[in-house]
Amino acid sequence: MASISHLNQFPCKTLTVIQSKTQLTSKPATFAPNSVKVGPKRIGKSWIRSGEFVRERPSFRVRAVNDDELSPEKEEDPSGASVAVAEAEEEAKLAEPSEIDKLKKALVDSFYGTDRGLRATSETRAEIVELITQLEAKNPTPAPTEALALLNGKWILAYTSFAGLFPLLSRGTLPLVKVEEISQTIDSENFTVQNSVQFAGPLATTSISTNAKFEVRSPKRVQIKFDEGIIGTPQLTDSIVIPENVEFLGQKIDLTPFKGLITSVQETASSVAKTISSQPPVKFSISNRNAESWLLTTYLDEELRISRGDAGSVFVLIKEGSSLLTP
């Protein structure tokens, strides 16, 4: 008890707090617009007040994320429809004709009605020359003599500007015989070339061919030397067709009055043709100085070949079996 009475000897002031049942005695604070809200301040788990009001500090949480979370979510396509559409578009692009294919098609179409160039008008020739020039500028084989595998095979003449062939193509001298096909067969392994012309008549078909050797002189040019000619054995046709009329020296001759005579001639000719067909072809040598020529290939791919010869003549040939030969 002595200690307690001793402490009571020190003077002290009593702090009096007056609080009503509803509010504190201090005046309420006034806030400007857009001010930060104030409230209890949390430290750990306890709340305290500093004066009458306190500011609430925002809390932040940091977390690492990967790129997939930042990018928009991709919807999975379980049916694979988008992949199928992409593949279809790719196939459509591949199926679309290239510029070279379009030029080749236009060139072959321009040959229609020209009889390999014999009956081509000046306008048609100009169009053909323009298409040939465009194709030569896009030649996929700049060194044809170094791609002999492409040269191999049988090539069918589709067009030429070589005037030396026009008398052969014309029917004026042989009214009942027409040129069925003109072709060139190349064997690059043996360096041989065979040019062949097939004729078709009312009774039989036959051919005249020339055999030659060629030498490579440049990446585009070969030298050709002819050494042998062959007259093929006539082959009897399955059916004999006599036309109603023929054109000879600019005049049309009506064959109707001669039907009976022609029938008897057909029977006789058939027996003769059968006898001739059993004979071997006739060969003859070519030894004159003019039996040489050169050939410059200016365009070459798997189905089309463009060559230029003496005096600037042009030859357009199509590989046997190509779809370009189909009308």
pLDDT digits (tens, 9 = 90+) for 190-225: 999 999 999 887 667 888 899 999 999 999 999 999
Domain presence at residue 36: no
Q: Structurally, how many domains does the chain consist of?
A: 1
Q: pLDDT by residue (tens digit) across 83-139?
A: 677 776 666 656 678 999 999 999 999 999 999 998 999 999 999 999 999 999 999
Asked whether residue 254 is domain-assigned, the answer is yes
CA 189, 194, 198, 204 dihedral sign is negative
Hey, how many other C-beta atoms are within 10 angstroms of the C-beta on 320? Answer: 14
The domain that contains 298 carries what CATH number? 2.40.128.280
CA 232 to mean position of chain CA atoms: 40
Q: CA angle, corner 326, sides to 198 and 144, nearest 5?
A: 75
Q: Containing domain of residue 291, as a range?
A: 98-321
Smallest CA-to-CA distance from 120 within 255, 326, 316, 278 is with 316
What pLDDT sits at residue 228? 87
- Structural domain includes residue 46: no
In a domain, 258, yes or no: yes
* Reported pTM: 0.61
Asked whether residue 32 is assigned to any structural domain, the reply reads no
